[in-house]
Structure 1
């Protein structure tokens, strides 16, 4: 929860200071540039009650993220986004920590970027599909290995780019990943699904080509 607050404060600070810091360069046109890459960091925080009735909680974690976009027009883009490393989560129950699990999401989405490319502030929204692979599950299960199936589902994105000059920009975004993951014990499906539905809040620096 502490890392979630830190990332939220960093996001708010970036939004607050960026217009003044970048205004002098906002007139540099970016029209015609069709590719962009962004590198940064994000916190992924799953739903606080992933398995109703089981009284467990999965902590959030911070990891590096990267994305690559192709702009069909100045406003419409296709983005491939994913974690460059795994998010490591602590699983807690009423008695405290009961294990850990790692996940690494990847997503493909369509986006609409508002306004002209040379505007200082350009908000955008997106909708797409994601998959998140789980690994290194170490969860107490009465001696049997407890695993999680790959989560799959829709992803919604909202963010804003702050133009620095023709090539460089700063980005802040939030993503909501909607998908369940079946819990497996000793390699067998249990029929129990964890509703993870995480929020992913990130900041980064990007370049256009």
Structure 2
């Protein structure tokens, strides 16, 4: 994370003089709702096919525009909650936080409708894992994950301050799962994260 912080600070310092001469603020706040929709099959755990249920939660992101086309964005959310299933039966209930820091590029900056693409780094923290159903009462644990997050969407400008965004991310999330201290496999969660948000330039 240190190199990401250093890169962000360098970019902000380098572009500060440009925005100092502009009356348009480079800061945008997005508030919305997103779905974390894991891959249909997330591998095998303890020899059984595993799957992870989807979850929907409010999200918030802060974006800094380096110029009309390029921006840096940090995404956060209320903790998502998922059921992990083994052979279709509920086995684990777990919460996770998947913050993302990334760079976006807008193809038609300044237009009423502007599609964009981006790429970033994701860190997913799993916590409060509890055995359920066939693993009721078992001590379960999911390791945290680092991975790439691809981003794409469309911005719709409503007025100089307000905007509406529809977007999707594909995030590489792999987590080693253990039960009673013994590793039972790796969950290849790799979700699509899609939703919408309202943006405010401040």
Does the pair score TM above 0.5?
yes
Map 1:1-209; keep pairs closer than 5 Å. Answer: 32-52=24-44, 54-83=48-77, 85-94=78-87, 96-117=89-110, 119-139=111-131, 140-141=134-135, 144-187=138-181, 190=183, 192-209=185-202
1: CA distance, partners of 2:70 / 2:23: 13
TM-score w.r.t. the length of structure 2 is 0.81
After the TM superposition, list the runs of 4 or more consecutive aligned residues in structure 1 that deviate by more than 6 angstroms: none
TM-score w.r.t. the length of structure 1 is 0.78
Q: Shift of the alpha carbon at 1:35?
A: 0.8
Q: Shift of the alpha carbon at 1:184?
A: 2.3
Q: Shift of the alpha carbon at 1:95?
A: 5.5
- In structure 2, relative to structure 1, the CA distance for the partners of 1:95 and 1:71 (3 Å cut) is closer
Whether contact under 8 Å (1:130, 1:154) holds in the other structure is: yes
- Give the structure 2 partner of residue 25 of structure 1: none
1: CA distance, partners of 2:88 / 2:147: 32
Whether contact under 8 Å (1:156, 1:175) holds in the other structure is: yes
Whether contact under 8 Å (1:31, 1:74) holds in the other structure is: no
1: CA distance, partners of 2:157 / 2:186: 42
Count of aligned positions: 177
Whether contact under 8 Å (2:50, 2:88) holds in the other structure is: no
- Give the structure 2 partner of residue 3 of structure 1: none
Structure 2: gaps of 5 or more residues: 1-21
Instruction: Output the aligned Cα RMSD.
Output: 2.0
Structure 1: gaps of 5 or more residues: 1-29
- In structure 2, relative to structure 1, the CA distance for the partners of 1:78 and 1:105 (3 Å cut) is same
Find the residue that maps to 2:91 and give its secondary structure. strand
Q: Shift of the alpha carbon at 1:154?
A: 0.2
